[in-house]
Amino acid sequence: MKLGLGNQDAAQATVVSLDGAGFSCDISKGKEVQKTFEIIQKTCGNISYLVNAAGSTGDGLLLRTRPEDMVAMLHTDLLGSMLTCKAALWSMLHTQGGAIVNISTVTGNAGQCVYSDSKTGLEGFTRSLAKEVASRNVRVNLLAPGFILTDMTAGLGA
């Protein structure tokens, strides 16, 4: 099992508990994603599976949300998944198969316009990418669970 987690302490604890390898990068930065996936491939071999579970959220009415906060959320929740899919696909297409699961949500509470937008964009991206790579034996799906209590959502209302 290979894990790429943003929180280094959580990543190390998870790696130790699962006897796996851990890699970390800022998924909103294309060059960093590409470099990390190259290291994963050199260290662990071809990439067959990708689960995009990274996310960020924040409560704030649209009128009170700063543009830079909007961009940061879109970079993590949407662009990050696009960049990791692109990086993993090189290996999957080379080995003629693989599977990608993008994690979205059905949650779209008042005060979460930007978050909802980023996850709706992820749904459209997933549908389009699935059609793009289906003939190459790569499956791309979206999982949209309801509200889950995590460190990220602890301060939000359900």
List the catalytic residues.
115
Q: Which residues contact 119 (CB under 8 A, 6 or more apart)?
A: 77, 104, 105, 108, 144
Give me the count of residues in the chain.
158
Task: State how far the Cα of 108 lies from the Cα of 147, in Å rounded to an integer.
Answer: 10
Q: How far is it, in rounded angstroms, from Cα 112 to Cα 96?
A: 39
Q: Rounded to an integer, what distance in angstroms lies between the CA atom of residue 88 and that of residue 132?
A: 14
Q: Which residue type occupies 55?
A: G
Measured distance CA(115)–CA(74) in Å, rounded: 8
**4 touches 52 (CB < 8 A):** no
